Amino acid sequence: MAIDVDAARQDTRGTAHATHLDSAGSSLMPRPVADAVVAHLRREELVGGYAAAAEAAERLEAVYSSLARLIGSSPGEIAVLESGSTAWAAAVSRLRPAAPRVLLGRTEYWHNVLVLRRLARRDGLELVVLDDDAHGQVDVAHLRRELDRGDVGMVALTHVPMGGAQVQPAAEVGRACRAAGVPFVLDACQSAGQLPLDVQELGCDVLVGTGRKFLRGPRGTAFVHVRRELLDRLEPELSERRSPARDAGEGRARLLESWETGVAARLGLGRAVDHALELGPEPIRDRVRALAESLRGRLAALPAVQVHDRGLVRCGIVTFSVRDRPPDRVQAHLAGQRITVSTAPLPPPAAEQVLDPAPEHQTVAVRASVHYYNTEEELDRLAAALS
């Protein structure tokens, strides 16, 4: 069923104030999500944080069920944290590879690379950057050759890079990892909310997502799925994380959580997930993809604009540059016309630059990221502002 765009915009207060093309950074919350956050804060104002949390216990527990439905997981395999980077590091740091080599893609998120470098120093690991194929996606044939060596302890992949449109062939990677018995960690922070996700089909052992991007949740929310067979390898780092209920097994993934957290934001995350499920992940994907391709066509028609997107399968992120104009200047120019975009580094061309994500190695582009509440008229506005 097609998405009712007019209804979606009426439900999104921010669309009346600006053309928002930055869902890859932080999307606009729908009205029910913002209302859920504010309502809980008002309750905390009246009765205090602990009493308000106790009243919301059933709704808080339902957040895990909603997330499980979103990604084909189970509530006991999910933890809710405060950021995608924190969630990724918390899970990966506790799942020590059983073999010395860790494989990662060229589009791996820079914070993930820094965590892997720290683990490599601590545990004597070797980090191996996989080749890209001709389409700018991870070369699955290269992955299989590396797995055939038999000394791989983990494979890490970012599903959608922060500075690119390509959707990595995660399901193919997952099948290869399952066949080799190697844990597969998928960073889905840019894909959760704009693409359908199913951890069984993807074959990932760990999946990390964030709330503020395409899921349209509040800032300060993220989640991580850890496959049940790996849960016994999780141990808390802080004493405040341990509780008998979490140690008991069914909710063991929650050992990754901190006890003290923002309850209002968690409730907002749950409402955002329910909102996405009500619309349907497939209709969201189809509209986002169509809008992004429409925008690429507009930008490609402008003589001074170069579109950088690659990939056999592309998503709602569109990266481009304007001749003789620095990306931050383009961003500021558009902001002056109430058009919100961001900037992001493009994937580095060399493997050694992936392992050393320093600013001097980065080529930065302008990033426009559409969502289902955007319109063709807003894309026209962006193209006109650039021309």
Check whether 221 has a pLDDT greater than 70: yes
Question: In this structure, what token pair is assigned to residue 346?
Answer: 């493009």
| Domain stop point among 249, 278, 307 | 278
| Domain co-membership, 253 together with 344 | no
Which residues form the domain of 303? 5-21+280-386
How far is residue 271's CA from residue 89's CA, in Å, rounded to a whole number? 25
Average pLDDT over residues 189-205: 98
Q: Give a yes or no: residue 159 inside a domain.
A: yes
pLDDT reported for residue 241:
46
| Domain co-membership, 254 together with 348 | no
Is the distance from CB of 269 to CB of 217 less than 8 angstroms? yes
Q: Give a yes or no: residue 26 inside a domain.
A: no
| Domain stop point among 278, 304, 330 | 278
| Domain co-membership, 240 together with 331 | no
Q: Give a yes or no: residue 27 inside a domain.
A: no
| Domain co-membership, 262 together with 306 | no
| Domain co-membership, 111 together with 207 | yes
Q: What are phi and psi of 143, to 5 degrees?
A: -55, -45
| Domain co-membership, 183 together with 89 | yes
pLDDT reported for residue 235:
65
| Domain co-membership, 119 together with 192 | yes
Helices (H), ranges, 31-83: 31-47, 49-55, 57-71
Under 8 Å CB-to-CB from 57, ≥6 apart: which residues? Answer: none
How far is residue 321's CA from residue 329's CA, in Å, rounded to a whole number? 11
| Domain co-membership, 181 together with 301 | no
Q: Give a yes or no: residue 265 inside a domain.
A: yes
Average pLDDT over residues 152-179: 96
Residue 239's pLDDT band, with cuts at 50, 70 and 90, is: very low
Residue 112's pLDDT band, with cuts at 50, 70 and 90, is: very high
pLDDT reported for residue 127:
97
Tell me, what DSSP letter sits at residue 48?
-
Check whether 364 has a pLDDT greater than 60: yes
Check whether 355 has a pLDDT greater than 50: yes
Question: In this structure, what token pair is assigned to residue 22?
Answer: 């930055």
pLDDT reported for residue 244:
43
Which segment of 192-206, 236-250, 278-292 scores lowest on mean pLDDT? 236-250
pLDDT reported for residue 90:
93
pLDDT reported for residue 287:
98
Q: For residues 343 and 237, which has the higher predicted lDDT (pLDDT)?
A: 343
How far is residue 300's CA from residue 371's CA, in Å, rounded to a whole number? 20
| Domain co-membership, 198 together with 314 | no
CATH code of the domain containing 308: 3.90.1150.10
Check whether 249 has a pLDDT greater than 60: no
Q: Is 159 exposed, middle or buried (0-12, 13-18, 19+ CB in 10 A)?
A: buried
Report in angstroms the alpha-carbon separations of 68 from 29, 80, 159: 21, 11, 19
| Domain co-membership, 267 together with 306 | no
- Tell me the per-residue pLDDT of 256-311, one tens digit each, with 9 for 90 and over: 998 899 999 999 999 999 999 999 999 999 999 999 999 999 999 999 999 999 99
How far is residue 288's CA from residue 371's CA, in Å, rounded to a whole number? 5
How far is residue 5's CA from residue 305's CA, in Å, rounded to a whole number? 28
Question: In this structure, what token pair is assigned to residue 203?
Answer: 């074959």
Q: Give a yes or no: residue 28 inside a domain.
A: no
pLDDT reported for residue 236:
59
| Domain co-membership, 240 together with 301 | no
Number of domains, the chain: 2
Q: What's the pTM value of the predicted model, to 2 decimals?
A: 0.95
Check whether 336 has a pLDDT greater than 70: yes
Q: Give a yes or no: residue 114 inside a domain.
A: yes
| Domain stop point among 278, 312, 333 | 278
Averaged pLDDT of the chain: 94
CATH code of the domain containing 167: 3.40.640.10
Q: Give a yes or no: residue 302 inside a domain.
A: yes
| Domain co-membership, 142 together with 78 | yes
Q: Give a yes or no: residue 176 inside a domain.
A: yes
- Tell me the per-residue pLDDT of 171-194, one tens digit each, with 9 for 90 and over: 999 999 999 999 999 999 999 999
